[in-house]
Amino acid sequence: MKYTDTGKKDTRSGFGAGLYEAGKQDSRVVALTADLKGSLKMDKFADEFPERFVQCGIAEANMIGVAAGLAITGKIPFAGSFAEFVTGRVYDQIRQEVCYGETNVKIAASHAGITLGEDGATHQTMEDIALMRALPGMVVINPCDYNQTKAATIAAAKYDGPVYLRFGRPSVPNFTPEDQDFEIGKAYVMNEGKDVTIFATGHTVWEALKAADMLEAEGICAEVIDIATIKPLDEQAVVESVMKTGAAVVAEEHNMPGGLGELIAGVLAARRPSPMAYVNGGDKFGQTGKPAELMAAYGIDAEHIAEAAKTVIDRK
């Protein structure tokens, strides 16, 4: 593996660092939260720019409305809460006031997926990407580690339009470059290969790289592509890779309906029909458990990715 784990960090801390940096770069950046300042690592921003921080309390719908109002006045608001609460609980406000209204609101969604762990199904979300990518005009970003989340947050602040930025609670390997430039809409080739393409997003990117190492030991050369931006999808990168390898696996910490797997399947069906396999949560709610245990139980880890790759290669 050409990537090295430089120390485990949570991606929510990458968001906090990126928010602070964006705030230093642009005085229009403001932050709002629904009583989760500490959980979203907004403390440094709030301490440094108290006049640009709004504590909305446990009132997510109101928070989105306030954010939309601030955006209309020329501010760049980041409205943050747990992914479950800032999507499902306030979908109407996001649809009407952010996307239909074309306001420059950034929705910061922490504790996404099942790796929230012990908080259980009511706080976990495995359907948020489906909700957000269905909205016209919404950009959906799901970075893979601390460094990429920081860079993606800074890029989101510079982008003019609605953005859904998804990140998590557990400490995970930090392996992408520290001073990277994040480009919205670009897929990143992490490992070149010729036998199968593994598309991964968020926490599954590291798992995909580990799977590629397992496959290499068996003489299989897997290409790993980090889909950091789910919408707009880098369709050209998807098609070019599968034209080379002839088979695809899509790994995501999300359910099958409305996820990255269905999105890539649609692109390939139209432009390059190929054997595909999916590594995701299926069609289930979360449950209580340790993050790594849940990833294994739901079949979203390196071992399952490697097995899916071998299965799909057999179908070529």
Catalytic residues, by residue number, are 60
Pairing of strands 229-231, 29-33: unpaired
Taking the C-alpha atoms of residue 77 and residue 315, their distance in angstroms, rounded to an integer, is 47
Residues 6+ apart with CB under 8 A from 236: none
Do 30 and 163 form a contact (C-beta atoms < 8 A)?
no
- Residue 229, classed as helix, strand or coil, is strand
User: For residues 164 and 173, what is the distance between their CA atoms, to the nearest angstrom?
Assistant: 23
Q: Residue 4 burial (CB < 10 Å; 0-12/13-18/19+)? A: exposed
Q: Among residues 137, 16, 22, which one has the least CA distance to residue 76?
A: 22
Cα 45 to Cα 52: distance, rounded to the nearest angstrom: 8
Q: Rounded to the nearest 5°, which phi and psi values hold at 92?
A: -60, -45
Task: For residue 248, count other CB atoms closer than 10 A to its CB.
Answer: 27
Cα distance between the two ends of the chain: 26
| Dist CA 175 CA 167 (whole Å) | 16
CA distance 277 to 199: 10
Three-state DSSP state, 213: helix
